[in-house]
Structures are given as structure tokens and as C-alpha cells.
Amino acid sequence: MNIEKHSRRKFLQLTATGVGLSLVYLWDKMMGNRLLAAAHKKIVLPLTHNIVSFYRDFLVINQKHKTKVLSSHCTHLGCIINKVENGRLICPCHGSEFDLNGNAVKGPAYKSLPSIPFKIDKTTRQIIIQSPTS
């Protein structure tokens, strides 16, 4: 009787752990796929002199004469980062903070914001983000 109860508890614990891990895996996969889908389109953004420009899926950072493009999706649960304060990018949902290189500096997010490959068309002053295969 006691062994049966212990086995049932163990079974339920293992099942719950398995379901939890599967959900984390699926969430991570979904976020990665959403970013990949965005990267497979050709997206043109204006090249400005702003230190940070916010777009739906991207952040354009100009710092020390260098431009970089980061995903605007917070690596915690995917909220759109839409604020910069004291040189930190701030997620409105749970307060994660990232430096201007995209490194997570305050949780709950612990992963950096992914860098997005891009080209600059100096003639038109545009940032072009496109699939690496096109």
C-alpha cells in the first residue's frame, strides 16, 4: 500500500517535470522560430542618428559610430522592449534590463538579446535586414 502510494507520487512528479520541460522547450522553440520568420523577410529601416530606435521586432542601436540591430523581444517571455533609461533597455513586462550591447544585466531575463545581421545602404541611408540565404 505504502509502496503503491510512493510509486504513484513518483510517477506524478516525473510526469509533471516532463510536461514542464516540454513547455519550456516549446516556448524557446516558438520564440526562436518567430525571430527566424522575421529574419526571412526583407525589412528596411531608416538609418537615424538616435542612440536607440525602437521598431516592432528590432532595436537599432548607434553607439560609438557603430550600428547594431538587436531583437526587440525580451528573452524572458517575449514582451517588446520599448524603453531606454540610463543606457539600459528596459522590458515593460517584468523589468528585465539589458545594456546597449543586448547583454542581460537584470533579470528575470538571463539571455542576451539576439543580434540581427543587417547591411547598411549608405546611399539611401537605410538598414536592410534580410535572410542570409537571399
**Which residues make Cβ contacts (< 8 Å) with residue 90, sequence separation at least 6?**
81, 83, 84, 96, 97
Region of 20-28, 51-59, 64-72, 88-96 interacting with ligand FES (CB under 6 A): 88-96
Residue 90 in the binding site for ligand FES (CB under 6 A): no
CB of 78 or CB of 128, closer to ligand FES: 78
Residue 74 in the binding site for ligand FES (CB under 6 A): yes
CA 65, 109, 96, 129 torsion-angle sign? positive
- CA gap 124, 47 in Å, rounded: 9
Residue 79 in the binding site for ligand FES (CB under 6 A): yes
CB of 79 to ligand FES, least distance (A): 4
